[in-house]
Amino acid sequence: MDLQLTGKRVLVTGGTRGIGRAIVAGFLDEGAAVGFCARNPEDTSAAQQALSDRGHVTGTVVDVGDAAALEAWVERSAQDLGGLDVVVANVSALAIPDTEENWLASLNVDLMHTVRLVRAAMPHLERSDAASIIAISSVSGRESDFASGPYGTAKTAIVGYIHGLAMQLAAKGIRANTVSPGNTYFEGGVWSSIEAGDPDLFNAAVELNPTGHMGTCEEIARPVLFLASPAASRVSGANLVVDGALTRGIQL
In a domain, 2, yes or no: no
In a domain, 194, yes or no: no
In a domain, 72, yes or no: yes
In a domain, 200, yes or no: no
Catalytic-labelled residue, pool 128, 138, 140, 180: 138
Total tally of structural domains belonging to the chain: 1
- Whether 252 shows a pLDDT value over 80: the answer reads no
Q: The CATH number of the domain where 147 resides is what? A: 3.40.50.720
Residue 210, SS3 per DSSP: coil
Catalytic-labelled residue, pool 106, 155, 180, 185: 155
The pTM for the full model equals 0.96
Q: What would you measure as the largest C-alpha separation in the chain, in angstroms?
A: 51
Please, are residues 225 and 3 in contact by the beta-carbon 8 Å criterion?
Answer: yes
Structural domain boundaries, residue 226: 9-185+216-242
Q: What's the rounded Cα separation, in Å, for the pair 187 and 15?
A: 15
Active site includes 155?
yes
Catalytic-labelled residue, pool 8, 140, 151, 161: 151
Q: What is the pLDDT of residues 130-180, one digit of tens each?
A: 999 999 999 999 988 888 899 999 999 999 999 999 999 999 999 999 999
Q: How many CA atoms lie within 13 A of 7 on its CB side?
A: 5
Active site includes 137?
yes
In a domain, 211, yes or no: no
Q: Which amino acid is at 217?
A: C
| pLDDT confidence of residue 147 | 80
| pLDDT confidence of residue 146 | 83
In a domain, 111, yes or no: yes
Q: What is the pLDDT of residues 174-193, one digit of tens each?
A: 999 999 999 999 999 989 99
Q: How many CA atoms lie within 13 A of 241 on its CB side?
A: 17
Catalytic-labelled residue, pool 106, 137, 140, 180: 137
- Whether 13 shows a pLDDT value over 90: the answer reads yes
In a domain, 201, yes or no: no
In a domain, 199, yes or no: no
